Amino acid sequence: MSDAASQIKEQITENDVVLFMKGTKEMPQCGFSSRVAGVLNYMGVNYSDVNVLADENLRQGIKDFSDWPTIPQLYVKGEFVGGCDIITEMTLSGELDTLFDENGVAFDKEAADKIREANG
């Protein structure tokens, strides 16, 4: 296992929700990362953010690890969930709520409903 892969494995094992993104949750460095972080922040999800721009090996490593070509990437309980489009669709359909519920991840249900109302 490469250094990046063991780093990734450690992150997704130690944290229930991890977002590999460009930038940080306080200061996203790309629109897609900003959108996913914005959803998680708004829903009050406690998550770990990993800035792939800070480490070139990690940036390529996460793509190899998940076999997914783009950043951001969301993991819940060690499982790869998806990137920006998938998370957006899951938020709007309510699937993300279900995923969080099933995995015991706390979030603000009212905030999730507001997102759907605003985009309905």
Which residue in 112, 110, 90 sits closest to 99, CA to CA? 90
84 annotated as a binding-site residue: no
Q: Which residues are annotated as part of the binding site?
A: 30
Q: Which residues are annotated as part of the binding site for [2Fe-2S] cluster?
A: 30
